[in-house]
Amino acid sequence: MLTATQKKTAEAIVNIFETGEVLGHYGQVTLIEGDTGHLTYGRSQTTLSSGNLAQLMLMYCGNAGAVFGPLLAPAVPRFVARDLTLDGDGKIKNLLRAAADDPVMRDTQDAFFDAVYWAKAARAAAADGIVSPLGVAVVYDSFVHGSWAPIRRRAIAQAGSVAAAGEKDWISTYIAVRRQWLANSRPDLRPTVYRMDTFRRLIDQDHWSLELPLVVRGREISTMTLAAEPPGTYSGPLPGSRQLMLQTPIQQGLDVRRVQLGLSQAGLEILADGMWGRVSTRVLQTWQAQKGLPATGVADPSLVMMLAAL
């Protein structure tokens, strides 16, 4: 069995593959042209077309303490139906981004990715006699990225069972087979051969135990980074505690995100990323003009509270 730190490290490697962040990016919304998964969301990225995103939404909206549950609940049937119009629904995507600020969503994602991906990968690894932390990480990556079973069969056909080949040799074969498959797969999968190249480097550096610290794709995995605050999430400042306006450095935080979300809910096109830049200023000016207010692009605390409540 892996220790808690080894598990977190294996997850961190895949998080980096999926979102570029050690802890993953709980609010990341992705839509890649040609990706059959369509709308993709969350810490380790789960997809609309697989039905897994619907499972995550059902888990979150089923929690009475979910801050954004009432706003997301009406869209749950669309997630369940794998409605591809969600790909272009800016309001829903902004709600998903903002939901990452809710600790309930982050806890729900952790439980979801554990149950849907990690637990299944750990069982599959154990069944084949794969016990090293790096070996389990390879299996977990394939469960998240897809196609573990068919690539496993190809690796067995080439190298025999894990017991016959030895775990280290078998994992090396599996990585080579999977890399070849990715390189000759769909256009959106071909660039992801870097995942296998990364595992190959970790093997060449004899990192089978995933002892910390590690550097993976330029990201430090250490006890410090594993214990850090998740990127792109905000717990403050609270809405109404300050004026929002274009300045240097750019204002960012929970109040900014809530105002952006309010503007989005009002039907204006804006990215609720929690950073108050020129686009947010222009969109606020548009909203102010629509409401017959001076189009200053500045939101005083009372206006922040009004928009944050939309």
Q: How far is CA 136 from the centre of its chain?
A: 20
28-57 mean pLDDT: 92
Domain 251-308 class in CATH:
mainly alpha
Q: What angle do CA 80, 70, 66 make, to 5 degrees?
A: 95
pLDDT digits over 130-178, tens only? 999 999 999 999 999 999 999 999 999 999 999 999 999 999 999 999 9
The mean pLDDT value for 75-93 works out to: 97
305: enclosing H helix or E strand: helix 301-308
What pLDDT does residue 146 have?
Answer: 92
Residue 267 is given by DSSP the state: T
Nearest to 262 by CA among 244, 247, 235: 244
pLDDT single digits (tens) 278-308 = 999 999 999 999 999 999 999 999 999 999 9
Per the CB < 8 A criterion, the answer to whether 97 and 272 are in contact is: yes
Class of domain 4-226: mainly alpha
- From-to residues of CATH 1.20.141.10 in the chain: 4-226
Write down the pLDDT at residue 250. 97
pLDDT at 32: 83
Tokens of 108: 């729900």
Domain span(s) for CATH 1.10.101 in the chain:
251-308
The length of the chain, given as a count of residues: 310
